[in-house]
Every structure is written in structure tokens, then in C-alpha cells.
Structure 1
Amino acid sequence: MRLFAAVLPEAHAVAELREAVAATPRAEDLRWTGEAGWHFTLAFMGEVPDDRLPELHARLARAAAHTAPFPLRLHGSGHFGRRALWIGAAGGLDALRMLAERADAAARRAGIPMEQHRRYTPHLTVARARHDAVDLRPCLDALAGFEGTPWQVDALSLVRSHLPVSGIPGEQPRYEVVNAWPLTGH
């Protein structure tokens, strides 16, 4: 199954972002992600064989047990290249980065081949461009001052993604929380 570790924003944070995105100018060749896709991916694992799951679950549980709950809020906007528009985070960024490091290490120790390690950039993707010629500036400008209300991150989630298979334009991936562990560290 196709898996990733994530922090999921609370319902009020999603509602605030929904309002901000609704007020953002629409570019014709920009595909907006659905609310179900609004999450902070900590470690993308790709296809994980079933026989790796027990070890992965145990190691992610340990990662959560070593991490204390921390405050987070949605904050500002940014982009990766000319293709991805995202909302950033503020608050407990050091704790979020540490949780991402722990989730990545948990996957590696569970025998899951991971991409080359790089510094974690906290982001929640809200749109993707269909090509490089899309001008993201109006959207970036509209979302630059976005400030969400803080919430307490208190869980590490393991999420399964189901990629679109119908071929219908605009079909979004589906996401399913496979398991979640409370953050209980001190």
C-alpha cells in the first residue's frame, strides 16, 4: 500500500484555509487540491509491502512516544518551482521537523527504502500547476498574509493514498488514515 506519515490539521484550521482559498484568484491551469489532501507530509514511503507494516507501526509509535505535543498554525504561502503552491506553518516548527526526522528514521529502520534525505520544509499543498507557464504570483500574493489560529498537534498519522484510476479529469487522490499515535513525549 502507498503510505506516508503526516500531521493532519484540526477542523477549524481546515475551515479557515477553506475560506482563504475560496477568496484566492483562480488561474485557469491551476488544479486546487481537495480538503482531504490538506496535510503536512512528514515522510513519504511510497509502496510499502504488507510484511513491513508491523515493524513500521511499532517504530512510528516509538517516534510519537518521544515527541511532546506542540503548537502549530497555518501561516503564509510559498511555492516549489512553478508547479506547486503551498501554505506554510508557524509555531512549533522545530518539533515538527524533529517529528519528520523521526518518521523518516522509523521508515528506514523498518526496512522501507526512502528517498535521499533532505531538510524538511513544512508545507501543505493547496494547488498544482498543469505546466510551468502558470503565473502563481496572484495566488501567492492573495495567500501571503494568511494567518490561521493555532492548534495543538497531538498525533502522528500513517496515511494511505489511493491514486486516481478512473482517468476522469480533475479526479483527486483519496486518503485514509491507517493508524495514528498520540504524541506523549516530554
Structure 2
Amino acid sequence: MRLFAAVLPPSERLDELGCVVDRLRGSPGGGGVRWTSREGWHLTLAFMGEVDEALLPGLRMRLERAASRTPVFSLRLRGGGHFGRRTLWAGVAGDLDTLRLLAERSDAAARRAGIAMEEHRRYRAHLTVGRGQEADTGPFLDVLDGFEGGRWEVGELVLVRSELPVSGVRGERPRYETVGSWPLGGGGSGAG
């Protein structure tokens, strides 16, 4: 199964961002972008790729430990940017040091569970809102740059299974399913 560790913003914060993305979707050039769905919006902490089910018990135990050692912290979605003029994203502000720490701990948990991870890179917090062909991202960035969402308390680490589209139908999106969650700061045992 294809897995990643993530932080899931609450629905109110996603609705705020959704209003901005809806404007972008309807703007000139918006039709040439594959906009990601609100249901799939998340902050990836550690992408694990295909994981053998036999490794899940160890991974769950290590992610629970990573969560218990990380305090609850505050974030908000703010601004935006692009990767390679193809991927548009919303930025993140707040306690980025703790977010990076949780990302590092999630990556280490996966490695210790025996998952072959990609080369380690410095964590860069973002929420992908769209992908497309190389284009002028300036008008989109102007709108995203002015965005500032409300603050929320991050209280859990989530393990997500993603299923990529296989039908070949244009516009089909990946499906995401939470397969485990653990409270930050040792607030009890989580699902999974």
C-alpha cells in the first residue's frame, strides 16, 4: 500500500483556502491547471511510497512514539508559491520548527520500521493546490500571496493511504484514506 504521514488541517481552514482556489479556478488560465480536491488537501510530513503490510505494526508503533514526543502546536495556511512553475501550493506559517520536527520524526519512524525512504531532504511545508503544464503562474501567485487563513492547533499525526487513479478518466483524482492517527503530546492511544 502507498503511504504517507501527514497533518490534516481542519475543515474550516480548508474552506478558507477553498474560497481562494475557487477564484483561481475561474480565472484566466485556470482551466489549464489540474486543481487538487479539498478532500485530499494535507501537509505531507514523510512520503513512504509502497509499504509492505508486514511493516505496518512497527511503523504504527514508531509513529505513535513520534507523536507522543511532539507537543501540540499552532499553524495557519498563508501565502503560496510554485515548484518548477508546474505545481502551485499554499504556504504554511506558525510554529514551523515543531512542524519540521514532526516531519523529521515521521521520516525517522519510517526508516526505523524498515521502509526504504528516498534520499532525505530538508522539509518544506506546503499544501499542493494545483498542477499543470509549465505556464505563467504570476496571476495565481498574486492571489495566493495575499491569502492568510485562520490559526489552528495541530493535535495529531495521521498515516494516510493513497490510491492513484487507474481508470484513465480525465479529472480522476487520487483517493485518500486515514489508516492510523495518534495524538500529539502523549494524549492517549490513537486509532490504528
Q: Same fold judged by TM-score > 0.5? A: yes
1:100 partner amino acid:
A
Give CA deviations for 1:41-72 in whole Å, capped at 9, x if unaligned.
00000000010000000000000000000000
5+ residue gaps, structure 2, are 188-192
Q: Give yes or no for contact 1:26–1:139 (8 Å, CA) kept in 2.
A: no
TM-score w.r.t. length of structure 2: 0.93
TM superposition shift of 1:121 = 0.4
Matching residue of 1:15? 15
1:7 partner amino acid:
V
How high is the sequence identity, in percent, across the aligned residues? Answer: 60
> 1 CA distance for matches of 2:15 and 2:115?
35
Is structure 2 residue 43 aligned with structure 1 residue 40? yes
Matching residue of 1:160? 161
Matching residue of 2:190? none
TM superposition shift of 1:185 = 5.4
Aligned residue among 81, 89, 101 for 1:78: 81
Aligned residue among 111, 114, 121 for 2:114: 111
Q: Give yes or no for contact 1:85–1:128 (8 Å, CA) kept in 2.
A: yes
> 2 CA distance for matches of 1:89 and 1:37?
17
Size of the aligned set, in residue pairs, is 184
5+ residue gaps, structure 1, are none
TM superposition shift of 1:26 = 4.7
1:20 partner amino acid:
V
SS of 2:67's equivalent in the other structure is helix
Give CA deviations for 1:132-184 in whole Å, capped at 9, x if unaligned.
2x211111111101000000000000000010011100100000000100001
TM superposition shift of 1:112 = 0.2
Give CA deviations for 1:108-132 in whole Å, capped at 9, x if unaligned.
0000000100110000000001x22
Deviating above 6 A after TM superposition, structure 1's stretches of 4 or more consecutive aligned residues are none
Matching residue of 1:66? 69
Is structure 2 residue 58 aligned with structure 1 residue 55? yes
Kindly report the root-mean-square deviation, in angstroms, between the aligned alpha carbons of the 2 structures. 1.1
Matching residue of 2:138? 137
TM superposition shift of 1:37 = 1.8
Matching residue of 2:4? 4
SS of 1:71's equivalent in the other structure is strand
Give CA deviations for 1:79-126 in whole Å, capped at 9, x if unaligned.
111110000100010000000000000000000000100110000000
> 2 CA distance for matches of 1:14 and 1:26?
23
Matching residue of 2:34? 31
Matching residue of 2:178? 177
Q: Give yes or no for contact 1:66–1:184 (8 Å, CA) kept in 2.
A: yes
TM superposition shift of 1:40 = 0.2
1:86 partner amino acid:
W
